[in-house]
Amino acid sequence: MLEFIVGHFNYWVVIVLMMTGLYVVISTGNLVKKLVGIGIFQTSVFQLYISLGKVVGGSPPILEYLPKEYAKEASNYVETATKTAVATEENAIQPISDIGGTIDVASDPLMGVIYSNPLPHVLILTAIVVGVATLAVGLALVVRIREEYGSIEEIQINEAEYKQEAGGS
Amino acid sequence: MEMTFPVDMNLPINLFTIFDMVLLSMLVIVAIAIVRLNSLFSIVMLFGVYSLLSATWFVSLDAVDVAFTEAAVGAGISTVLMLGAMLLTSREALPTPPLRRWTSLLIVTATGIALIYATFDMPSFGDANSPANSYVGMEYMARTITDISVPNVVTAILASYRGFDTFGEVVVVLTAGLGVMLILGIGGSKRAAGTAQLKATSTPEPKLPVTVAGAKGPASNHHVVLRVVAKMLVPMIVLYALYVQFHGDYGPGGGFQAGVIFASAVILYSLIFGMEETRRAFPPGLVRFCSVLGVFIYGGTGLVTIILGGKFLDYNMLDKHDPIHAQHFGILLIELGVLVTVAGVMLSIYYGFAGRYRELEDRNW
């Protein structure tokens, strides 16, 4: 039960944040506050994606070793790994014991390091920049509405609209 | 990979989960404060705080590139834009009538419960074998070493494996920038002409519109600290942006972050020295040209690879002797395109908003 709660806690908080954003969008009549609500909603979607890509015990998806460094690093890696394997005989995590002293790039290109999933990061990274650009479009519209109607409150804009229509006909 | 602090990852609640829970609680508190407040200034500032907290959580989720972008964009540019829009509109929001408040709460609660019910089927947090973490993402992770050979896999995917998607994103950013230019105009060329006329007609009067930009006399002395500090900070921020740009292959960073950081350097300059000076240093025409130039560089790289006999954005064509070298070259080029477009678009958006606002008068500082 506790594991289930910890394993799903992130989704629940993300949903609470998402709903907070939605609440701001539908409850307030102020257009700038509405855009802040959309921002909260949007950020919660980002958080959902990123938390899906997390791997427990993982590190950021920036590789520690590259082929050029392999020859040098691989020997160090085996040495330290055997040392730790000896030191922690009883431990469950012994990545090097399976490989048996030789690093095979084809079978384990990541050299036993756990990384989080980079794909959601790419999607969200670009989405954040696109998000601020679209937010700017929204704000620009709000500024124009204010110049046209003298207000950014829904009720007052509607009133001004009715007045214009009544005056026009 | 040795852990230097005692954390037992096998426990359901360890140091990491506690850290996450504290951060998430803070996010919820800030979000609820935003709901309850009516002062737009507080709301906008709290939204910046919210973005920064969210960036911290992204670091905890290993998404360092995303955290970087969120910190630069959310706490930087979008707060500035919102403050600008707030100055041009109003400072207070009307309180929500109770009926509307309760109806919204009802709708939101119902939706929330339905969504939470759906999460029971989701894979648990951090599951290495969940569908999202099993297929293409990890495949990229494993292949980057031999295919592209840059340490930052996020950059490798963004610029090479999914280069076409990123091209789409850059075009979307440009389109949004064009949208703002169409709605607000291109950063006050009309306004500038207006003030010039004003100055020409009212020269003999001593009560000239003393702008922050124009003030070079003793009137500007009282924010001399700001000016000196800003003058020292701006080049450093630009240098940092370039570092982020060129180090993006090796660590968190890249064209998107660098573009936003560069734009924030210029925005800082304009906040202290005024729009007039900024327009002289970075003319709106140049900025507009840059936002298109970046897309041109990006698309042009794609076209060159086609001409060299490959597919669109197939970097291996750029250097047929060493595919890895070719990949690095291609990534460098398109990251440059992203930098130029993002910086250009962010600045034209900023110019668009700033051009609507009269220069802050000296006595109002």
pLDDT tens-place string over residues A44-87: 999 999 999 998 888 899 887 666 555 555 556 555 655 555 54
Query: Which domains are delineated in chain B?
Result: 8-93 (1.20.120.1200), 137-365 (no CATH)
Architecture of domain A1-57+117-169: Orthogonal Bundle (1.10)
Q: Which residues contact B70 (CB under 8 A, 6 or more apart)?
A: A43, A46, A128, B51, B54, B55, B58
Four-CA torsion B255, B82, B209, B363, nearest 10 degrees: -110
Residues of chain B found within 8 Å of residue A56, distances taken between Cβ atoms: 9, 125-128
Q: Classify B180 as helix, strand or coil.
A: helix
Inter-residue contact B88 to B353 (CB < 8 Å): yes
- In angstroms, the Cα distances linking B254 to B143, B215, B238, B338 are 20, 38, 14, 9
Strand-pairing partners, residue B211, are B361
* Share of residues in chain B with pLDDT > 90 (%): 54
Beta bridge partners, B361, equal: B211
Distance separating alpha carbons of residues B298 and B167, to the nearest angstrom: 7
The residue type of A19 is M
Residues 34-93 of A with CB under 8 A from B: 35-37, 39-40, 43, 46-47, 50-67, 84
Q: What is the mean pLDDT of residues B14-22?
A: 85
Kindly identify which residue of chain A lies nearest to residue B105, measuring between CA atoms: A23
Q: Which of residues 68-107 of B touch A (CB under 8 A)?
A: 69-70, 73-74, 77-78, 81-82, 84-86, 88-90, 93-94, 96, 100-101, 104-105, 107
Nearest CB to A62; choose among B70, B122, B153: B153
Separation between Cα atoms, residue B166 and residue B65, nearest integer Å: 15
Position B341, amino acid: T
Residue B360 has pLDDT above 90, yes or no: no
Helix (H, G, I), strand (E, B) or coil at A59: strand
| Residue B289 pLDDT greater than 90, yes or no | yes
Asked if B171 and B295 count as a contact pair (C-beta separation under 8 A), the reply is yes
Q: DSSP string covering A64-123, please?
A: S--HHHHHHHHHHHHHHHHHHHHHTTT-S--HHHHHTT---TTT-TTTT--B--HHHHHH
Using the Cα atoms of residue B228, residue B229, residue B230 and residue B236 in order, give the sign of their dihedral. positive
Lowest mean pLDDT among B65-69, B323-327, B346-350: B323-327
Asked if A62 and B86 come within 8 Å (Cβ–Cβ), the reply is no
Confidence class of residue B119 from pLDDT cuts 50, 70 and 90?
A: very high
CA distances to B87, B120, B213 from B209, rounded to whole Å, are 19, 63, 11
Higher-pLDDT residue of B196, B285 = B285
Residue type, B57: W
Nearest CA in chain A to B62: A60
Q: How far apart are CA B333 and CA B330, in angstroms?
A: 5
Q: How far apart are CA B8 and CA B237, in angstroms?
A: 40
Q: CA B364, CA B356: separation in Å to the nearest integer?
A: 18
Task: Taking residues B113-122, report their average pLDDT.
Answer: 93
H-type alpha helices, B120-247: 131-134, 136-147, 153-156, 163-184, 189-201, 224-246
- Chain B residues in contact with A133 (beta carbon < 8 A): 172-173, 176-177, 345, 349
| Among the partner residues B1, B66, B78, nearest to A124 by beta-carbon distance | B66
Q: Helix A118-149 vs helix B64-72: angle between axes, to the nearest 10 degrees? A: 20
Close Cβ partners of A21 (under 8 Å, ≥ 6 residues apart):
A37, A38, A39, A40, A41, A42, A43, A44, B31
pLDDT of amino acid A83 = 56
- The one-letter amino acid at A1: M
What mean pLDDT is predicted for residues B75-96?
89
ipTM of the complex in this document: 0.85
* pLDDT tier for residue B216 given thresholds of 50, 70 and 90: very low
CB B29 within 8 A of CB B64: no
pLDDT at A46: 95
Q: Is B290 on the interface with A (CB under 8 A)?
A: no
Residue B211: what pLDDT? 45
The model's confidence at residue B147, banded by pLDDT at 50, 70 and 90, is confident
Ranges of each domain in chain A: 1-57+117-169, 62-114
Q: Which amino acid is at B91?
A: R
Kindly tell me if the per-residue pLDDT of B339 is higher than 70.
yes
Exposed / middle / buried, residue B339 (Cβ in 10 Å: 0-12, 13-18, 19+): buried
Cα A161 to Cα A16, A26, A30, A98, B268: the distances in Å are: 35, 20, 16, 74, 39
Of all residues in chain B, what percent are helix, strand and coil, respectively (each to 5)?
A: 75, 0, 25
A102: pLDDT strictly greater than 60: no
Query: Cβ–Cβ of B133/A53 closer than 8 Å?
Result: yes
Residues of chain B contacting residue A125, judged by C-beta atoms under 8 Å apart: 65-66, 69, 154, 158, 254, 256
How many CA atoms lie within 13 Å of B83's alpha carbon, on the beta-carbon side?
15
**Inter-residue contact B287 to B347 (CB < 8 Å):** yes
